[in-house]
Chain A
């Protein structure tokens, strides 16, 4: 297919290398060096999308990150990418793109023809139209999204590989335009380690589309020379295709480097990194991020064919594409006249330059005059005419301030309107640091405010729009940044770049070009093209009482799109300021926040996905569990056996079997994951006694004690057994999930409150493997593999521990029990975990020893009414609430952590929720955990809640379901019937009973 708009001068593209691509299903051809935008324009594709609210046809406006209209979906399937800007997608062979909005397609848009949809969406439409009924919001939102089209996320897993890289540098230069390049060169020359990053495919910034001569060579040659110079410094890292998208505290910046996107979707084949996120800590930062040209706002300024003046020049000079034939240039400044010169040089027709100023006479203006181009001074383009392409511009004389039309409106036929309302400094990254932008009337732009970070802005992003001044500023800043980072003396080393710039006259501060009708009546004058925010909409927001720029932004959705208002925001604020009859500096600006441009989740996640998402911890017996077909559950980072199904057993069947085996013969549990903290020192007993509710001062060597730890507010925080290993030496067991928190808690108190106590903590969780042998036959099993410990019940009692040898391995054996049965917890060095495990399995064969997992452990302990901290407690439960007053020492000399809170009025109050058992009237029904408890199920909603179910299981040993619950005043309500309304609408009646279902006297663990 012929590329109608290709120019003979190919710019920086290679016209000999054709590239095939499709857009909305139609095949086109572009050339090497094109962006998707330049290729579409070369092919004369006017309409690239439909607008958000009004579904109006929209064309390409810009040439970079500012593009609001050309939003596309790239490819399909797992690697598809939504919401890319056509101006930022480099063309590659086989590229497939489609518009994200427009239904059924952009050229025949049903929504647009129906035309009613936009009228449902005035400013604040979220709040007005879809407020009620709330129930329908989900339906509304679904419809809005489908109709407006915000791209489709892939549903399959991302096939690509991403990476993260932590970096440090002395000077980070953001932006490789003229100012950035000289800044990097100076910093490098001083000896600093430099990173220079730029979002474009090649360095040069504005110079890539410039006809300027620098140091007697073309801009392109000058850029090439600079890159070559930078290549010579070994400490300079050049990052093209790399967007610095966030500036965070303490000079931490993030860069998204696109490594293979320009080669195609999944070009890395799942091996080569697609995108890499650099996390950079920079000593000094130079921001050289340039500026965005500001469009003029006029009626129907959204018709395809209305473009940024600088973008027209860029397509002509850099890509060799003329996006039209008959140009009208609407401007408020000298700078944009260059576009008329470029268009004329390309051999195309400049119909007129329409300048809002009354008597412009700058050097560029005179050059245009000399070319014989018509200049309409003191005029504005007040309206564009056309449907899917501009056909004419309505031009009218303006008064001196540009606020009103003063004469006849005339119609000038054209197919392209280039506009320039001046330039807005790209202050985004500076704003990320918290610096408050400052409005500068003299340049009609915000400038970066003062920042607490080690950074400075140079060139256009600092409001220094002249090339020569920007180069001087860049070089100075580069040398200074290097000096502050410890390199060089801060003086510029290279001689100034030689160039001649045309002298420019002042621009006019004009944002909204007046129409013969006021904004509320005129055809829409669009401010934010992506979200269809118009000047009339902003004025309406003001009439409705909104005054703060932040509120107006949210009410109108100004700047909420994927372009983040890079084109529209300043115009919107100026129009708002005008409507409020105040200055722009009084109105202020909204705050820019990261990300500067959209960032893929893949790059943020890097390699921390799948297996590497979170570390997994395995016990030393893990392989055995896997070999036995165990099902696992996550407990913190640990993988613990959940249950061991035999054959085709279900969870319930396996757990019932395991539970019966423990109570009737013997079971074995891998308890290695329990937290273990080795505590030593002359003050160890005193310290431990301060941390637990009960006392350890008289705990003898060889003895264990169960303890509960409180936070200072009196609420249960962790529990476990603590053993005295020898004088001044203890071993504290914690819950599996609580181990790290308990160690930090101990260290906090020792280091900050009682440094005088001599006590030392070491985590030994991973050093030991623990096999719990439990059940009436436990002693017989252990006896077969342990000969050097007297296991008889009067010599080795409940809550004793002994050193000994198990299966030939040195072991600590604890008689502690979480099942209520006779139990031996055998601890050996983790290296021998599997060895003793297999020895115990072998020894237990004649008793049908049954390995069991966490589910059976939970059921067995619930049968005994033993709590699990974090399941039966939730950080608001005292020992008394858990019916565990017996654990609280009443006569401890030192006021242990949390003790004082146990006598606060709130912890003493009646009607606190207390731990009880629940027995469903229908013994088969297992209550859902978390079920709410009410006294009267017939009461009107919202019902008065009495508490909730904390643990609930079917107990094969009891022959009925069991539950633990916390119920207001529950300990005084034993025997009462309460009701649990469940999610499926049924209500389950249950009786309040003791929380101890099995062996209430606790005899079985003492045998």
Chain B
């Protein structure tokens, strides 16, 4: 069971308080109606599934009810950092 640092509460809390929010940094297209079906489909359905570094959203659902992002290693399950929505990760890297 993971232990996650909520950047809003500024505390390490148990995974049970959070829910997973999927891949982070996916911006909603500003003009969806101008996109082809394929482009819209990419936004809608396609997600990374890296072996290694992954940026993902978490939701402190039974805590502050705020979304934030985490950089997690999908192999070791280490959470390398958490950061607020709207900011960028300091740890980046291709999935190994």
Using a CB–CB cutoff of 8 Å, the interface residues on chain A facing chain B are 248-252, 281, 434, 452, 712-713, 744, 747-748, 751-753, 755, 895, 899-901, 903-905
Contacts and interface: CB of A to CB of B under 8 A. Distances in A.
A250 B3 CA distance: 6
Contacts of A281: 3, 14
A515 B31 CA distance: 78
B31 A895 contact: yes
A781 B62 CA distance: 42
Nearest to A905: B37
B95 to A, nearest CB: 17
Contact of B59 (A748, A753, A899): A748
Contacts of B65: 747
B61 interface: yes
8 contacts: A248-B1, A250-B3, A452-B78, A751-B66, A755-B85, A899-B32, A901-B40, A904-B37
Contacts of B41: 904
Contacts of B14: 281
Given A747-B65, A895-B33, A434 B76 contact: yes
Contacts of B76: 434, 452
Contacts of A903: 33
Contact of A249 (B1, B19, B28, B44): B1
What class of interface size applies to chain B in its complex with A? 20 to 34
B21 interface: yes
Nearest to A251: B3
Nearest to A763: B65
B2 interface: yes
Contacts of B40: 900-901, 904
B2 to A, nearest CB: 5
A764 B14 CA distance: 27
B85 A901 contact: no
Contacts of A434: 76
B36 to A, nearest CB: 10
B1 A752 contact: no
A353 B85 CA distance: 71
A744 B59 contact: yes
Contacts of A899: 32-33
Contacts of B21: 748
B67 A900 contact: no
A62 to B, nearest CB: 32
Nearest to B59: A744
Interface string B26-65: 0110011101010011001000000000000101010001
Contacts of A712: 28, 44
Given A434-B76, A753-B28, A900 B59 contact: no
Interface in B2-29: 2-3, 14, 19, 21, 27-28
B52 to A, nearest CB: 13
B1 A747 contact: no
A751 B67 contact: yes
Nearest to B77: A249
Contacts of A904: 37, 40-41
B86 interface: yes
- Name the 10 nearest CB pairs between A and B, nearest first: A900-B32, A250-B3, A452-B76, A895-B32, A252-B1, A249-B77, A751-B67, A752-B85, A250-B2, A753-B28
A717 to B, nearest CB: 14
A900 B66 contact: no
A251 B32 CA distance: 45
Contacts of A250: 1-3, 77
A987 B89 CA distance: 60
